[in-house]
Structure 1
């Protein structure tokens, strides 16, 4: 049985608190990546793919290090950190092997995801129209997602630049939250 306590046991909290600085490094890497992407949005997308690959690889290594650092206690599952680390390392390595393909596939995957998500949201809103009020908001969200997917397919270069900006801001936000988390963990470690 998986519960919230599985993810936040006291031994896991102690292990993470001892390695608070790993979250700081993850956060700083995210913030640095975000600002670099904002500063040079017109730089070739291959460069962005390589920088993103380096970020994914670095993030994966730090996540795996955080998971492995407390494995000796053995009583707290860290599979989610191991999977996060392995996924980041794999994504980073594949990006270095095929940077051009990475950009194309990433844009296609995001467009496909937006289209499928939008269609499902509209279908869900229609199915729930007798159960809830305000289903129009879910329909509007679905239509916006569909429009985004179509726009990304129709104008991939503009979509790629917009994607650079979106990834940059998400990386800065995520990096800031990791730094904030690391500061909380540092207090717990003390």
Structure 2
């Protein structure tokens, strides 16, 4: 819950922290790919691993040292992903074999596309919104976890009282 409160109160700091954490991940992933590329003899994927490694190292370092501009780029990437996800859902809504109602997929696809367009149109606000909602969700998750713990403890007390009787 504390993380949720802090993330909601300081969404800019939360977002910058998330970008830096992602940058550290990308950096470690890039270094790992480079190590794999040069440790395998005659690997057919050597060039792909080198390319992936270099991109990972550069992206990671950029995110760590330029988190605000990296954050905008990540928001753009997320927006593009949301649009692609929406288009995919719309296409699947008109597939021949469906296990769920078409209208649900159509509405879902439209909402994904709208969210993507909003991210692309204003990536800075989108990034802050993601940080704020992450904080709100973490707070609610904390409340639910505490509630579940209290309910479990109560259930266990009742069960042990029943066993003792």
- TM-score calculated relative to the size of structure 2: 0.55
Are residues 106 and 83 of structure 1, via their aligned partners in 2, closer, same or farther at CA, if it must alter by over 3 Å?
same
Deviations 1:85-104 (A, max 9, x none): 12211211222443211112
Partner residue in 1 for 2:83: 115
Query: 87, 97, 101: which is aligned to 1:132?
Result: 97
- Displacement of 1:65 in angstroms is 0.6
Are residues 55 and 77 of structure 1, via their aligned partners in 2, closer, same or farther at CA, if it must alter by over 3 Å?
closer
Structure 1: segments with no counterpart, 5+ residues: 1-36, 167-190
Partner residue in 1 for 2:54: 86
Deviations 1:160-180 (A, max 9, x none): 3446899xxxxxxxxxxxxxx
Contact kept, 8 Å, 1:151 with 1:159, in 2: the verdict is no
Query: 102, 113, 117: which is aligned to 1:146?
Result: 113
Query: 81, 106, 117: which is aligned to 2:74?
Result: 106
Structure 2: segments with no counterpart, 5+ residues: 138-165
Q: Give the alignment of 1:24-173 within 5 angstroms.
A: 41=7, 42=10, 44=13, 45-70=15-40, 73-74=41-42, 76-122=44-90, 124-125=91-92, 128-129=94-95, 131-134=96-99, 136=102, 138-149=105-116, 152=119, 156=126, 157-162=128-133
In 2, Cα distance between equivalents of 1:95 and 1:113: 19
In 1, Cα distance between equivalents of 2:136 and 2:74: 15
Are residues 49 and 77 of structure 1, via their aligned partners in 2, closer, same or farther at CA, if it must alter by over 3 Å?
closer
CA RMSD of aligned residues (A): 3.7
Greater RCO (Cα-Cα under 8 Å, separation 6 or more) = 1
Q: How many residues align?
A: 125
- TM-score calculated relative to the size of structure 1: 0.49
- Displacement of 1:114 in angstroms is 0.7
